[in-house]
Chain A
Amino acid sequence: MKQWQGIAVAPGVAVAEAFVLSSEGFRIPRRAVAQDTIEAELHRLDAAIEAASDELAAYRDEVSASLGRQCGGIFSAHLQMLRDPHLREEIAALVRERHDSPEYAVSKVMRRYVQVFQNLDSRYLAERASDIFDIEKRLLRHLLGLPREELTQLTAPVIVLAHNLTPSETARLDRRLVMGFATELGGAGSHTAILAEGMEIPAVVGIGPFLTEVSGGDMVVVNGDDGYVIAQPDESTLERARKASKEHHERSARLAALREAPAETADGVGVEVHGTIEFPAEARECLQRGGDGIGLYRTEFLYLGATHEPTEEEHYSAYREVVPTMGQRPVVIRTLDLGADKMAQLPGPEDEHNPFLGARSIRLSLRNLDLFRTQLRAILRANASGSVRVLFPLVTTLEELRQAKTALAQAEQELERAGQRPRRVPVGMMVEVPAAVMMIDQFVREVDFVNLGTNDLIQYTLAVDRSNREVAYLYNASDPAVLKLIQLTLAASRKRKIPAIVCGQMSASPMYTMLLLGLGARHFSVPPSAILELKKVCRSVSISRCKAVAARALAMDNAGDIKRYLREELRKVVPELAG
């Protein structure tokens, strides 16, 4: 029996056989290629090289933006190797002369290069063999036309073990058969973590190297509550894990019973729990759990991965998928919250050393007014079929807010000139930079509501990149500085009588609910999977108790102490959510 500790990112306990995502794993058809299909096969080869090249170019840009030019340079080098004319010629020669399938030929040629590199005296070059393997894998994926072949051929429940899972790979996991996953890399605030939680798959990340010690087929336990993984558990451990897994499922079933109940506190104070969604399909899940509306509809998916700028119609149809579903419940649509680095449609930024502090979100929108007004027109039109609100991200100054509102007014005029009669859409801003909190008294006079973006507020306030393993320990929602800023925001909104919707992981974490309620929060927006838990907590506490908890927490000066205190308090009222 072996055990490893990692970072728990999605709760629950899973027990199943391991499925290890290794660097091998392709079944390569050796089939001989018939003479009359050679041209077609070469055509397929060239198409795969094109597709893999595009993918690498995008990857290079993405990685350069998030990890710097040096890391991005890895993919530049891959791209160059992939496009090396000799490579294509060698592969094509095997197909033409030996009638090998392109897949087989690719593998053969790549392995030859690996051998050549490994036989060189230079140790550095010998290490480059892994780059060749990576390119081989990428090219084979495109030839075989599969995202990641292994994962689509599951027939039994498994726990996926991998070096790393990208957000899109995580999103593609088959929830019916992937009972949990664990990775060597990864951090608590990563998108993979957020996705895992949303998909309700117990997950542990950031374990460090351990894959060489596990084999596919080994019995594995993933404990997403305490953050550990066990391979080949002994009888008693296995027994306990199965029991914990069963209890987790039963808890989920009990929570499900809360669907129809309102999120009212024990002393009758009304609280609204809305859904944070990324894709239109999640709106239904939100409704199914009795959400009070959509507190944050992230629209980035319309831009990510698209080669062209989304048209007004494309925006509109994405919004129309959600708005009527929610009936008269409010739907808050946030305008583009990305940097140009992630968008294929805009020229790349000149030299952004620090994209998070750069030309992104509202700044980008205000610089590309056509793009901005296109989205705004679509939002205004969607309002006709429901109750829409518009939300501006990363607002830092009053001037920005006013400019954004002007753009909205222009969009309204454009629609009116086209013969439509847009209804007024309430306007909100994300409060996620310290500057916005410092000026909150002025801001609340100029908006109809605010969204507290706790993820980014924590990052900008503590100057911490949550994906940076070196400093991830500093990223704490319970940091007293963060709590003070939240308190200021909630108080100012309350005074002005406008809703303040708390979003982000902090909002969805039951540990912080009492604190937030005590500080004055009455609106939460959480992933649909967390709606029932939040309701449960709200229904189990009184506001007076929450106020006492908040006061006590604010008197502490240490994030760790505050966290421990909050966990204890949660344990007293809803023990099963306190972990």
Chain B
Amino acid sequence: MDQPVCSRSVTITNPAGLHLRPAGLLARRAADFQATIEIVKDDQRVDGKSVLSLTSLGLEQGSTITIVATGDDSQAAVDALVALIEQDFGREAAENQGGNNH
């Protein structure tokens, strides 16, 4: 029986792109799920649970990626990861901006 696949595209808004810290958070969150998770950028496809692979994508601000999850909890996985990128990384960016107003 085919496993459910779920995918969604999202844009990186963090000015620093997907640097180590958010890559780390993304990989850690992805590891919470059973589903296989891949991050696709153009013709590159990497394992979303691997912080090194994510970082090596070199995702800058403005990049659009597609999150593809395959497995029973694929829907939940995609939802969670999109939320992470859109909400938390955005918030981090805002905090960093605030912090620069010395």
Contact = CB atoms under 8 A, between A and B. Distances in A.
A473 interface: no
A76 interface: yes
A85 B50 contact: yes
A362 to B, nearest CB: 37
B23 to A, nearest CB: 9
Contact of B28 (A80, A116, A121, A125): A80
B56 A113 contact: yes
B58 interface: yes
Report whether over half of chain A's contact residues are helix, strand or loop; otherwise say mixed. Answer: helix
Given A80-B24, A80-B51, A81-B51, A124 B16 contact: yes
Given A73-B21, A77-B21, A125-B19, A84 B60 contact: no
A122 interface: yes
A81 B52 contact: yes
Given A73-B21, A77-B21, A85-B49, A128 B27 contact: no
B47 interface: yes
Interface in B49-84: 49-53, 55-56, 58, 60
Contact of A116 (B19, B51, B56): B56
Interface in A74-124: 76-77, 80-81, 84-87, 113, 116-117, 120-122, 124
Report whether over half of chain B's contact residues are helix, strand or loop; otherwise say mixed. Answer: helix
A125 B49 CA distance: 19
A77 B52 CA distance: 10
B21 A125 contact: no
Question: For the side of the interface on B, what is the size category?
Answer: 10 to 19
Contacts of A131: 20
A117 B16 contact: no
Contacts of A128: 19-20, 55
Interface of B: 16-17, 19-21, 24, 27-28, 47, 49-53, 55-56, 58, 60
25 contacts: A73-B21, A77-B20, A77-B21, A77-B24, A77-B51, A80-B24, A80-B27, A80-B51, A84-B50, A84-B52, A85-B49, A86-B50, A117-B55, A120-B56, A120-B58, A122-B17, A122-B19, A122-B60, A124-B16, A125-B17, A125-B20, A125-B55, A128-B19, A128-B20, A131-B20
Nearest first, the 7 closest Cβ-Cβ pairs linking A and B are A120-B58, A86-B50, A84-B52, A116-B56, A80-B24, A80-B51, A84-B50
Given A113-B56, A121-B58, A122-B60, 19 more contacts: A73-B21, A77-B21, A80-B24, A80-B27, A81-B51, A81-B52, A84-B50, A85-B49, A86-B47, A86-B53, A113-B52, A117-B56, A120-B58, A121-B60, A122-B17, A124-B17, A125-B19, A125-B20, A128-B19
